[in-house]
């Protein structure tokens, strides 16, 4: 299903973005 694939891709992109943000701004944690 294309919709499910797009949703999974968006979720993976958000997860990677969150990890990068956590690494760039460690003072938030």
Measured distance CA(5)–CA(10) in Å, rounded: 9
Under a CB-based contact definition with an 8 Å cutoff, are residues 29 and 22 in contact?
yes
Q: What is the DSSP track for 9-24?
A: HHHHHHHHHHHHHHHH
Question: Residue 22's domain spans which residues?
Answer: 1-29
Least Cα distance to 22 among 11, 12, 14 occurs for 14
Measured distance CA(4)–CA(11) in Å, rounded: 10
pTM (2 decimals)?
0.57
| Total number of domains in the chain | 1
List the pLDDT tens digit at each of the 29 positions of the chain.
789 999 999 999 999 999 998 888 877 65
Looking at residue 29, its pLDDT comes to 54
């Amino acid at each position: 299903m294309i919709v499910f694939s797009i949703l999974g891709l968006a979720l993976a992109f958000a997860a990677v973005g969150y990890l990068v943000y956590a690494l760039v701004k460690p003072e938030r944690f």
